[in-house]
Chains A and B, each alone.
Chain A
Amino acid sequence: MFSKPNDPPMLTAFKDSSLVGMIALLIFSPISGIILNGYGFNTHPQTPIMLAFIVFIGRFAYQLAALTPWGQRLIQKFMLSKGKRGVYVASPGDQRYLWIILAILFIAGLVLPFYLSKYYLTVAILALIYVLLGLGLNIVVGLAGLLDLGFVAFYAVGAYTFALGSQYWGLGFWSAIPLAAAFAALLGGILGFPVLRMHGDYLAIVTLGFGEIIRLVLNNWMSFTGGPNGAKAAEPSLFGLEFTRTAKTDGHIPFHEFFGTTYSPNTKFIFIYLVVFLVACLMIFFFSRLRTMPMGRAWEALREDEIACRSLGMNHVTIKLSAFMMGAMTGGIGGVFFAAQQGGFVNPTSFTFFESALILAIVVLGGMGSVVGVVVAALVLTILPEMLRDFADYRVLIFGILMVFMMLWKPRGFLPIRRPYFTKEGQA
């Protein structure tokens, strides 16, 4: 800004860094330089100055690095990925051995719960639930390109369908899964039909509002949902066998009595884990296959160019609606497992906007459309915070930093998007 074109590069760098430092000082001064104390306030001038100085040094170092050839190469490599798209076309036969890896992972996933403690079982179940939610939102945001900031609404609807259903109509765990899926999809359809004619920002705001409305209704409709006290869902069961010490429902017998083993509190979580694992695998299969089917292709085409889609005779509203409903359905299924994992107890505090943001982070980090990426991101983003309990306070900060770096470095996610290769015979 203050620099002239013929300044020596060092001076330019210094001036630029000073400017950045000044901006940092302006921003940090009110935030960290003034601390409220009763009705007055204390000033801490040294804090913002120090922060601004750190920013200045950082910027100056970056500028100096940019002057050296190796620094330039480094920046080229890590910062500016604008030239590269992060999309590539598969080559025929490059996934020939994929099924071996998948089979190993599948068996490992099946065996895993028997070696986990109860605490890590609940973490693993939660991670798989987020895989489901990530897959669901991935359809809406990653494939169809519809920014949905209220995805948690469908998650809540799923959880509450199970809880309220079992409270009022004696709904069981197994019947709750399809019912919650159908109900969430129906709600998604009802919301979507009028809303999906909107674009980008408008849609984001409407969905954000919808997420909050659902939470507020659950919180305030005391007589039906139990309000902040929450609702209690039935114990999960398998062919009438329950996983509790004594049966909670008439006609059911506890699992350990039936098999004549001793009671273990883990059994129930192993059971939930296995069910959610199988459902997640099914969904992964379903969605990866869908990507190469007309419906999935239409979603992606819609994300690429809606006007072109309309010119090709595709009804953009119904295509968006199908994506929205499919995503909602998956969110609803996730909700049922969440209610089961929570020991059957759900309350509205689990369904805040932060949850929507977390699921969106999973989709963005996973790479907007990549099934594998979303699965990995979901596992990492749920398991890592549990492992790093000591840093729990910084979780959101770390998410934020991670997101900023992702956007700069790999805006299309960790894994590049793979496009199918076609021969005249079919997909290779």
Chain B
Amino acid sequence: MQKLRLFYCIVAAAVLVPVAAFAASAVSEGERLGRPCAGCHATDGYAPGEYIARIGGQNAEYMTKVMKDFAAGKRKGSVEMSLLAKGYSEADLAAISEYYAGKPWKNSTNKIDPKKSAAGFKIAKENGCFDCHGTKGEGMDAYPRIGGQNSGYLHEVLKRYQTGKIESEEMALVKDMSDSQLEALAQYFSGIRK
């Protein structure tokens, strides 16, 4: 299987070379539509602040779902994103998501409080966060990457699952948590650097 995939890659590359020679700039539909997002999310989606989410390297399936939820007004706490996402078709949103998902992930550079982070790790272990989000919080498919995400954003989105502003069966487990527990979780996952 591994060998087979490699073989296809070589064939594909060989076919692509002459095309690439003509098309000096190959801008996908997702890139054309997605470039302006970098005005808030930074180039390639590596948002340097705390409260705007990193989107470069997020999982495509999850990101596509979230973008559609924004457009449908299903994530009420996300005011900017709800207004903006309505301007694109479903196909556009999927293309933009594929574009950002295609970037390698880069971890947050936010300052982390080690005490809160340690407390967060304990809560995460006790609540099985790793079962769905992976041991490094990397997620997969419909499970979002949360390891190395920006801390302020993680805290805010956890509050929304807690208050029911975002509905999610999987995330219902945070409903009984206190705000300081959510903050600790946010600090821990944001601080994952590998």
A and B pair up: no
Q: Which residues of A contact B (CB under 8 A)?
A: none
Q: Which residues of B contact A (CB under 8 A)?
A: none
